[in-house]
Structure 1
Amino acid sequence: MNACRSPPRWHPVTVDAREVNLTLDFCLRVGELLISTGAGAADVTATMRSLSQHLGLRGAEVDVTYTSLSMSYQADPEAIPIHTTRQVKNRTIDYDHLTAVDHLVRQVVRDEVDLQGARIALGRIISGGHRRPRWAATLGMAVMAAAFTVYVGGDPWVVVLSFISGASIDQLQHLLHRRWRLPLFYLQVAGAGLATLLAVIAAALPLDLDVSTSITANITVMLAGISFMGALQDALTGFHVTASARIMEALVSTAGIIAGVTGGLVFASAVGVPIHGAVSSGTSTLQSITLATGGGAVGAAAFAYAAYAPKRTLLPIAVIAGIAVVLSIVVPGDVGRTWRVAVAALFIGLIAYSVATRLKVPPLVIVVSSVVPFLPGYSIYRGLTMLAQETPATTSVGLVALFTAASVALALASGVYLGEYIAQPLSRRSWRIETRLSGPRLVGPLRKDRTAAPVPVAETDS
């Protein structure tokens, strides 16, 4: 009678605990590197789940916040769950490591490398450093500041001043971070204060320079290091805790810039060197569309170079940014700066995915670099100079300028993200991924490779 008994429908699954721990550790290390280099929480979660499912851990739970990542796996209801956590210690814009890890993830999901080989490759990426020396990043920041001075209408001597200021700010911030590990707020205060101090010294010389353009350009350079894109992506994809943390960090970093510039303006007033906000926004006072296009294009490429983006991306980024600048110019002036920026950002979002696919880099590299020329450096500087005069009329103008800066930042991020929504070519399987993610992918594998093993569907952690 026992021989006729039907077998149970469910059998316990035997899983090697060591293999599970190695897989979870690998996924966490990948996620840590992605989120520390600016990837959104939705992309990080989807990538980690894709990796874990492809490596045999189906049903692994992923929880991503801005400061920590955790994963847990339970082979069956009677097994003891395995839970691992990893803290996010360092945050930097590093497109070299981001691209390398993105390629490694794609190799894993295409079965081109096993777990052991992937762990070795990841260790080499993390410990291998960069292909460019540190001074090359400083040079990129200096060229970026000089290019943005051209973008806002600076004369040749002010361009030289901006070049010196950009290099000095980068070296000062790097020194303070490496030696004293100061938080980003104090680094921004020091950088903005140094930019304003150098402008005050130049204004005191008998050269008749409009140094306000140099301050504006250096504010834009420092704003480029703030992850506005990742913050809005997290907010739109349902990762509100991470979005709140990123938005708070962006606000604190911007407050550091405001504090540094304000302190410099107070010092200028104390020593009797007046500095006024003579420069006007973006493209409206440029001597020609050619200068605007050239300044924006070179500035965007210089930022990508300073962020260690692959060299093959520099020219496409310059072209995309230059076209976006032209689009922002040809939009009628009565539309307003915010809508002109939104149109340019929408174009960048529409084209970034296809360009990134051909260049074999994450779209995030193209997107963030191309929108840098449109960061609201002028609006912030104008708002501060108006508030510093402490009169009712100038105070209201200053507050409007600061609100304009916030609206421009929002228009940039939302315009780019809407462009990605429209542009990404979605196969049937990719559409299911996007539906669960509630948004487009800026990092990580998306499309199914028909010649390789199936890529597991990744979903958001709601």
Structure 2
Amino acid sequence: MTTNPHGRKTQGTAPAAGLIPVVAPARPNKAARNVLRKLVQGEAPPTAPMNIVDRLAGSPYANFTIQVGKAEESARKTIDFALRLAETMFRYGAGALEVETSIIAVTAALGLRNIEVDITNQSVVINYAPRDAVPITLLRVVRSWTNNYAGLVEVHELVTDVVSGGVSRDEAYRRLDVIVKKPKPFPRWVVSVAEAVFAAAVVGVIGGTGFGMAVSFVTILLAGQLARVLGRWRVPDFFITAISSFIVTVVAVLCFMFKVPLSPSIVVAGGILLMLPSGRLVSAVQDAINGFPVTAAGRFLSAFLTFGAIVAGISVALVTSALLGMDRLNVAEPITGSLPLAVALVLIAVATVAICIAEQTARRLVVPTTAVALAGYLVYHFGMAIGLGGRFAPAVAAIVIGILARVVALRLGAPQLVVAVPSVIFLLVGLSIFRAMFVMTLTPEDSVTGAVGIFNALIVILAVAAGVVLGDNMARPFTRSDGQKDRRRNRRR
């Protein structure tokens, strides 16, 4: 028994004389240890798999309602519905991320967990593997595409209703059948005229005269009708694009033969504007950024095959004209022109309305999409004016478009890409790639210049696509209040 300095008696053996007393180690601080563990390990184990429902974070379907019922017994029907939904969205032009989040939200809302989704460029695979049960794996291949943004908006509304718990699976099946069979908002002849109007308006923006706009209008009408005839004959898209670009170049050659005061590059640029896969390139980069490299690679390959078809058709026309004794035309020269800002804004508005009609956008979204495009063009115009350059100014404009597109689209009950894609068309990222590929094809001595041009164009495309995705993510705090209201309204049942 020993006495401590405070006079309290403690049990133990007194240290021997001349030896240093042994002090008992201090008890570790549990709170400090927990904080240190969190700093080192994080909230979850570093190797734990990600829950697939976590993919819905930040999407419009983050607050879903689970419909409790005999989900396991009807799993096959639920997966069939999800696959048909995904196929419809792909056919109407949705991106891979939009399709994946819709599948996850619908299956989770209808009571199915343990779902895995695999999406490629034209196929969707859903695997359902519950414990102690036979797994189900179904595949759906998308073999056709069509422009139908209005249908995509209705599909988005259907998914939202299913996720909120207000629509059963059978009712969702019926509504999807109605959407698929519903006619598009604009007839075919209106779409043909809108495509020609779009080309004419953009020719005016890039520096063409009124006569050049008229020639572009007629050329697009001619090429569009020929493309539709070839499409009914089941001719592959590659050859349809090549033949259409051949016709456009023949028009340019005829204008040159008859001394028409019009630049051949204006005629060709106006004729191939709608053939350029600018939107597909932007979508490919977005898929790559969002974590779908296989889908992005497929879209990149498809886009560059389209560029190859355009260059092939133009090259054949130019070589044929040279064999007939005509001078070789330079159809890839840069087009420079400056318009007053007010005139440019009018032409941009006309072009955006036209491309919305060509994409079969819902009528209620045409005016908001045009407003977003005008805002983006103003940012691009003033960015170029203050010296941001041809690479950074499009990126800043794309960020603004991404923010506004998400806010406007969610307010109107539509997916973001329905507003964002038509709004970035005015950046014309496809023209620079076309010029670079044309230089590499017909002028081998300038192949280095063409390669540098392709590299610069890809940088701009990456900047535009990344800007749209970044703007979409930046706008999430502004749209979170709607999600919180949905969370209060939705109840698990």
TM-score by length of 1: 0.83
**2:459 paired residue among 407, 410, 413:** 407
How big is the shift at 1:388?
Answer: 6.3
Per-residue CA distance 1:253-307 (angstroms, 9 max, x = gap): 22222222222333343441553358645xx522322333222232122111111
**2:210 paired residue among 140, 156, 169:** 156
Aligned to 1:110: 164
Structure 1 residues 428 and 153: alpha-carbon distance in aligned structure 2, compared to 1, 3 A threshold = closer
Would you say the 8 A contact 2:383–2:389 is kept in 1? no
How big is the shift at 1:16?
Answer: 6.7
**1:73 paired residue among 128, 133, 140:** 128
Is residue 275 from structure 1 mapped to residue 329 from structure 2 by the alignment?
yes
Output the amino acid matched with 1:302.
A
Output the amino acid matched with 2:469.
Y
Q: Distance in 2 between matches of 1:73 and 1:390?
A: 55
Unaligned stretches of 5+ in structure 2?
Answer: 1-67
Q: Distance in 1 between matches of 2:363 and 2:187?
A: 14
**1:171 paired residue among 212, 221, 225:** 225
Q: Distance in 2 between matches of 1:395 and 1:300?
A: 35
**Residues 341-360 of structure 1: pairs in structure 2 closer than 5 A:** 341-360=394-413
3-state SS, counterpart of residue 93 of structure 2? coil
Would you say the 8 A contact 1:137–1:306 is kept in 2? yes
3-state SS, counterpart of residue 410 of structure 1? helix
Output the amino acid matched with 2:317.
G
Structure 1 residues 81 and 279: alpha-carbon distance in aligned structure 2, compared to 1, 3 A threshold = same
Q: Distance in 1 between matches of 2:410 and 2:128?
A: 33
Q: Could you list the runs of 4 or more consecutive aligned residues of structure 1 that deviate by over 6 angstroms after TM superposition?
A: 426-430
Is residue 58 from structure 1 mapped to residue 110 from structure 2 by the alignment?
no
3-state SS, counterpart of residue 229 of structure 2? helix
Per-residue CA distance 1:76-129 (angstroms, 9 max, x = gap): x22111222211111233202111111111111122221111101101111223
Aligned to 2:308: 255
Range 91-100 or range 15-24, more displaced: 15-24
Structure 1 residues 454 and 295: alpha-carbon distance in aligned structure 2, compared to 1, 3 A threshold = farther
Q: Distance in 2 between matches of 1:367 and 1:427?
A: 16
Q: Distance in 1 between matches of 2:257 and 2:443?
A: 23
Q: Distance in 1 between matches of 2:256 and 2:297?
A: 40
Aligned to 1:35: 90
Would you say the 8 A contact 1:154–1:214 is kept in 2? no
Would you say the 8 A contact 1:226–1:253 is kept in 2? no
**2:389 paired residue among 328, 336, 339:** 336
Per-residue CA distance 1:131-161 (angstroms, 9 max, x = gap): 2211121111111111111111111111111
Structure 1 residues 129 and 38: alpha-carbon distance in aligned structure 2, compared to 1, 3 A threshold = same
Q: Distance in 1 between matches of 2:438 and 2:126?
A: 49
Is residue 307 from structure 1 mapped to residue 356 from structure 2 by the alignment?
no
3-state SS, counterpart of residue 450 of structure 1? helix
Range 248-257 or range 266-275, more displaced: 266-275
How big is the shift at 1:450?
Answer: 3.4
Output the amino acid matched with 2:166.
E
Aligned to 2:187: 133
**2:416 paired residue among 337, 340, 363:** 363
How big is the shift at 1:197?
Answer: 1.8
Output the amino acid matched with 1:325.
Y
Is residue 453 from structure 1 mapped to residue 482 from structure 2 by the alignment?
no
Aligned to 1:294: 346
Structure 1 residues 54 and 135: alpha-carbon distance in aligned structure 2, compared to 1, 3 A threshold = same
Would you say the 8 A contact 1:219–1:377 is kept in 2? no
Structure 1 residues 113 and 137: alpha-carbon distance in aligned structure 2, compared to 1, 3 A threshold = same
Q: Distance in 1 between matches of 2:73 and 2:395?
A: 50
How big is the shift at 1:204?
Answer: 2.3
Structure 1 residues 67 and 325: alpha-carbon distance in aligned structure 2, compared to 1, 3 A threshold = same
How big is the shift at 1:213?
Answer: 1.4
Structure 1 residues 19 and 317: alpha-carbon distance in aligned structure 2, compared to 1, 3 A threshold = same
Aligned to 2:154: 100
Q: Distance in 2 between matches of 1:135 and 1:94?
A: 15
How big is the shift at 1:386?
Answer: 4.2
**Residues 308-327 of structure 1: pairs in structure 2 closer than 5 A:** 308-327=360-379
Aligned to 1:44: 99
Would you say the 8 A contact 1:265–1:275 is kept in 2? yes
**2:143 paired residue among 73, 89, 94:** 89
Range 304-313 or range 294-303, more displaced: 294-303
Number of aligned residue pairs: give it.
Answer: 424
Q: Distance in 2 between matches of 1:222 and 1:454?
A: 48
3-state SS, counterpart of residue 348 of structure 1? helix
Range 243-252 or range 318-327, more displaced: 318-327
Would you say the 8 A contact 1:152–1:279 is kept in 2? no
Output the amino acid matched with 1:202.
C
Structure 1 residues 323 and 42: alpha-carbon distance in aligned structure 2, compared to 1, 3 A threshold = closer
Q: CA RMSD in A?
A: 2.8
Q: Distance in 1 between matches of 2:377 and 2:69?
A: 59
How big is the shift at 1:377?
Answer: 4.2
Q: Distance in 2 between matches of 1:239 and 1:424?
A: 21
Percent identity between matched residues is: 31
Structure 1 residues 193 and 451: alpha-carbon distance in aligned structure 2, compared to 1, 3 A threshold = farther
Structure 1 residues 454 and 65: alpha-carbon distance in aligned structure 2, compared to 1, 3 A threshold = farther
Would you say the 8 A contact 2:185–2:362 is kept in 1? no
Q: Distance in 2 between matches of 1:105 and 1:288?
A: 44
3-state SS, counterpart of residue 331 of structure 1? helix
Would you say the 8 A contact 2:201–2:351 is kept in 1? yes
Q: Distance in 1 between matches of 2:278 and 2:175?
A: 28
Would you say the 8 A contact 2:149–2:362 is kept in 1? yes
Structure 1 residues 15 and 23: alpha-carbon distance in aligned structure 2, compared to 1, 3 A threshold = same
Would you say the 8 A contact 1:328–1:341 is kept in 2? yes
Higher alpha-carbon Rg = 2
Output the amino acid matched with 2:343.
L
Structure 1 residues 261 and 380: alpha-carbon distance in aligned structure 2, compared to 1, 3 A threshold = farther
TM-score by length of 2: 0.78
Range 147-156 or range 413-422, more displaced: 413-422
Would you say the 8 A contact 1:215–1:381 is kept in 2? no
Aligned to 2:78: 23
Would you say the 8 A contact 1:320–1:370 is kept in 2? yes
Q: Distance in 2 between matches of 1:366 and 1:375?
A: 17
